[in-house]
Chain A
Amino acid sequence: MVLWSGKGFSQTDTTRRQDSLRSEQLQEVIVISQRNLKDNTTKPLATLDHYLEKSGMVNMIRRGSYAWEPFLNGMATERSVITIDGMRIYAACTDKMDPITSYVEVTNLARATIHSGSASSTGGSTIAGTLDLVRKKGSFGQSALNGMAFTGFETNNKQKIVGGSLNYSHPKFFSDVDFTIRDAVNYRAGGGQEIQYSQFTKYNISAQAGYKIKEHQQIEASLIYDKALDVGYPALPMDVSLAKALIGSVSYTRHHISPLIYQWQTKVYYNDVTHVMDDTKRPNVPIRMDMPGWSKTAGFYSMLQGTSNRHDWKANLSGHYNKSLAEMTMFSNTPNEKDMFMLTWPGVQTYYGDLFIEDKYALSDRWNATFSAGLAVHHNNIDNQFGLESLRIFYPEMPGSKIRLLKRLSASVRHDAANWSYTFGAAYGERAPSVSEGYGFYLFNSFDRFDYIGNPNMRNEKSTSVNASLAYQKAAFTAKISGSYFYIDDYILGRPRNGLSVMTIGAYGIKVYEQLKYATILNTSIDLGYQVTKEFLWTGQLGYRRGTGENGLLLPLMQPFTYNSGVTFFRKSFSADASINGSSSHTRYNPEFGEKGLPAYAVFNLSLANRFKFNGPQALTLKTGVENLFDRNYTTFADWNRIPRIGRNFFINLIWNF
């Protein structure tokens, strides 16, 4: 057990870094739910979105309180591969109201692993990187039953959080079940302004079981059912009455197959996502509409991991099938007139097959090199005649299907010395256009107020990237500078097309997806930590991104100079934390995408925590605090349509372990 568990993810000392964020080489790990209970997250019952937001590699684009969109290295979800335990899931909303990360809960997950570029991209071909949400999982062991019950409350949006989990372990069997319920009303921005349509309710239940067939062989099954109701999106003209997902898998794992192969894991999975977008709660709309969407994915992967002498390698064969369908029905304001119906995603099937290999080679005690390569076949097919004929209005000659070959490569070296370590990596990756980019039909973007039309004739987007990091550690001081630079050929972007008539009432025009010759994106971040005394730890983080396209076009949603800084005080089981986070003014924005300039801001937060130990494993963790202490009214670059962020918010989290 111990032998192999260390292989999958490189472990680094966690205590040095702020909160629950770790990074090593070109990988960043966000610890979400720690089994060791040494949890020093200020707000453990925060939503997954808040956890991901802490990573320097991730920006969370916010359209309301719920379901933020994770941008990896400044790039939208089309450019990254987001998986849950290696499983591919396609969102079902044409307006990005349901990124995959919205269908899980913090109680389902142990950590999120992020890789930049195509390094370690077992999940599939990617431009920006990969984000794998790793399921929390029980283990075989002495017969024991333990559990956790938790509750939380936040004053600003009256968010109530209730949940619990039970874990049973046995030498040949384990099983976990957990559930979480969240319910929130509208939040208030700084100054007290109520943000209409920002409520949400979410139910999540998950179960997992493992059975040891014999020594070194086990099967596991996992199921997540997530259902969100009455979710408001204040930055958008529509809300969601229902978003639900069923995510299931069965896997077989074998360890120690030979001296060279220490693990072989095969998993089959299926997930089914339903997303019902409507505007029934909005009092004034030019026309009533419903926009439901469905996405079903079935897939598998089979991964071999081995080690020999200086090599540590893995090979992964994977494949999946997805079908995405979305429709729009508008109800005429003229009585007795027939409904207006269209397919906004014309029943797009994606067949994807992938082979990926990676080898980590220890050149010496201090030098490591990692190489990886992947090759994928990507096949899109429109199986809905209505949808195909709709798209052929724009592209009369378009074929119903298209096959692409997607290649990726990466190489990196790492050097460790006494106080210094540095890494350098280069990667190449390709991707196919997303369902919306390739086949979307009049998808309204409420930020730039354009209707978007997909383009089935686009080439693959190709990215060449380099990344480097430099880390220094001496005594109580740690520092790390890291950066990455992406040069993206045939960058896919919607551009205004004259002469086409808008569909959405009030839209400014039509944009058709096209390809810029190139675009470049620079990501930089600095992490600092200083253990001032035994009891005081200071941490700081700085970040900046810059994205430019052909002819100096400024890419949208790029993070300006942002920072956070915090001091944590520890004594025994008590801790207190004060932090500030903020941003410089946002001046590199592009009005073509609806962006506006923003002033600088700074927000202060305070928190207190204590852990009360009782008999045996029983313990009660109490965490409380206030966010946005001075009730600042502010908006960041990541806020869709510039809706203001939450104002002063007191929270309390109670976690009872037994």
Chain B
Amino acid sequence: MNTLKILKYFLIIIAGSFLISCSKDDNPIIENELNGLKLVTTLSNTTHKVELYTLNGKLQTGFNNIFFQIKNTDGTTIDNATASWIPEMNMMSMKHSCPYSEISKAKNSTSTYMGFIVFQMAGSESEYWDLNLNYSINGKDYTIKDRISVVEANRRVVESFQGSDSKRYILAMVEPTAPKVAINDMKAVLYRMDGMMNFPVVDNYKIVIDPRMPGMANHSSPNNTDLVQGTDKMYQGKLSLTMTGYWKINLQLLDSIGTVIKGEKVTETNEGSSIYFELEF
């Protein structure tokens, strides 16, 4: 009798634990194009709502991959729009834009669009960013213009500077987004500022990298590869990180004939370059 009871409870416990573990596993994963993304803000006009998403739910200084969906007022998504955007910084005395990409459908998506924007500065109460989104659906044009909040990134991931050739440049780190103790793929984008609204990609330059740990007597790592332009127009190289922690990636920008446009070599006497990115992991 007793043994039966024990057996019964034992079976109940076993079954129970099965149920718990099963219910966890069986929880249906909603196949969502926006999986892993966080809502930043919703822009709206009278006809549509546009939901902006990023990986961390924020727009911040530097390179931002931005995803969005256009929804009718009833909440249904639009999947046949073509769109373009212009970010605009409203300063006290003037307006300017920043580097941005064209907009395309996100990979493996039916109704999610994506592009990137490189904000070279954060917004504030008095000086703020607007996003102008122009889109057309079935030949009809629409537009949304709304204020977006751009915050300062925790670490320095974008540099805006005047080069030795008197031109202004914007250089932003794209990758690594999840740095590892390893040889990481590194990616950056480089633009020139031609006037307030025009930011063409700079071709055939070279970005020399020198990762350092200022907290470790400026320890550096071996087997880094300087960044050169890849087929996607972005600058690509290899970044070695020998341990976790805070890294300062000192930069030097060289033009197509090797002239230093900006940045200084790190030496015994020069602790760091005037342009750099930061990573902490």
Task: Please report A residues at the B interface, Cβ cutoff 8 Å.
Answer: 286-287, 328, 330, 332-334, 337-343, 386, 389-390, 392-394, 396, 442, 499-503, 505-506
Contacts and interface: CB of A to CB of B under 8 A. Distances in A.
Interface of B: 180-183, 213, 215-223, 240-246, 280-281
A396 B281 CA distance: 22
A396 B246 contact: no
Contacts of B216: 287, 330, 340, 503, 505
A392 B183 contact: yes
Nearest to B247: A340
Given A339-B244, A341-B245, A392 B219 contact: no
Given A337-B215, A337-B280, A386-B181, A501 B246 contact: no
A442 B242 CA distance: 9
A286 B280 CA distance: 20
Given A338-B280, A341-B243, A390-B181, A501 B215 contact: no
Contacts of B218: 501
A151 B215 CA distance: 49
Contact of A392 (B182, B217, B221, B243): B182
A342 B241 CA distance: 10
Contacts of B180: 386, 389
A505 B243 contact: no
B223 A396 contact: yes
B219 A334 contact: no
Given A337-B215, A339-B245, A505-B216, A390 B182 contact: yes
A334 B182 contact: no
Given A386-B181, A390-B181, A505 B244 contact: no
B222 A501 contact: yes
Contacts of B222: 393-394, 499-501
Given A330-B245, A338-B245, A342-B242, A503 B215 contact: no
Given A287-B215, A337-B245, A396-B183, 4 more contacts: A330-B216, A389-B182, A392-B183, A396-B223
A340 B215 contact: yes
B24 to A, nearest CB: 26
B154 to A, nearest CB: 11
A332 B240 contact: no
Contacts of B242: 342, 390, 393, 442, 503
Give 5 nearest A-B pairs by CB, closest first.
A389-B182, A340-B245, A501-B220, A342-B243, A341-B244
A393 B221 contact: yes
A414 to B, nearest CB: 53
22 contacts: A330-B216, A330-B243, A332-B245, A337-B245, A340-B213, A340-B215, A340-B216, A340-B243, A340-B245, A341-B181, A341-B245, A342-B181, A342-B243, A390-B181, A393-B182, A393-B183, A442-B242, A500-B222, A501-B222, A502-B219, A505-B216, A505-B217
**B contact patch SS:** loop
B219 A337 contact: no
A393 B184 CA distance: 9
A332 B180 CA distance: 18
Nearest to B280: A338
Nearest to B217: A505
Contacts of A501: 218-222
Given A386-B181, A389-B182, A337 B217 contact: no
A393 B240 contact: yes
Nearest to B241: A393
A593 B28 CA distance: 63
A337 B244 CA distance: 11
Contacts of B183: 389, 392-393, 396
Contacts of B217: 286, 502, 505-506
A340 B223 CA distance: 20
A332 B221 CA distance: 18
A337 B246 contact: yes
Contacts of B215: 287, 332-334, 337, 340
Contacts of A337: 215, 245-246, 280
A342 B213 CA distance: 14
Nearest to B183: A393
A559 to B, nearest CB: 36
In this complex, the member of B181, B218, B240 whose beta carbon has the largest number of chain A beta carbons within 10 angstroms is B181
A501 B219 CA distance: 6
A292 to B, nearest CB: 16
Contacts of B220: 501
Nearest to B224: A393
A501 B247 CA distance: 14
Contacts of A506: 217
B83 to A, nearest CB: 39
A342 B219 contact: no
Contact of A394 (B223, B241, B243, B280): B223
B103 to A, nearest CB: 35
Nearest to A505: B217
Contacts of A505: 216-217
A443 B280 CA distance: 23
B2 to A, nearest CB: 36
Nearest to B243: A342
A392 B180 CA distance: 12
Contacts of B281: 338
A404 to B, nearest CB: 26
Contacts of B213: 340
Nearest to A395: B223
Contacts of A343: 181
A393 B242 CA distance: 7
A347 to B, nearest CB: 13
B238 to A, nearest CB: 9
A332 B247 CA distance: 12
B276 to A, nearest CB: 16
Nearest to A506: B217
B224 to A, nearest CB: 9
A506 B219 CA distance: 11
B181 A389 contact: yes
Nearest to B181: A390
A332 B281 CA distance: 13
A340 B221 contact: no
Contacts of A341: 181, 243-245
A364 B243 CA distance: 65
A16 B180 CA distance: 64
A393 to B, nearest CB: 5
A625 B256 CA distance: 80
Contacts of B221: 393, 501
Contacts of A394: 222-223
Nearest to A394: B222
B17 to A, nearest CB: 30
A338 B223 contact: no
Nearest to B238: A396
A307 to B, nearest CB: 57
B270 to A, nearest CB: 15
B220 to A, nearest CB: 4
Contacts of A338: 244-246, 280-281
A442 B243 CA distance: 10
A337 B154 CA distance: 12
Contacts of B223: 393-394, 396
Contacts of B244: 338-342
Contacts of A340: 213, 215-216, 243-245
Contacts of B181: 341-343, 386, 389-390, 393
Contacts of A333: 215
Nearest to A343: B181
Nearest to B222: A500
Contact of A334 (B240, B241, B243, B246): B246
B164 to A, nearest CB: 28
A580 to B, nearest CB: 47
A334 B243 CA distance: 16
Nearest to B182: A389
Nearest to B215: A332
B75 to A, nearest CB: 42
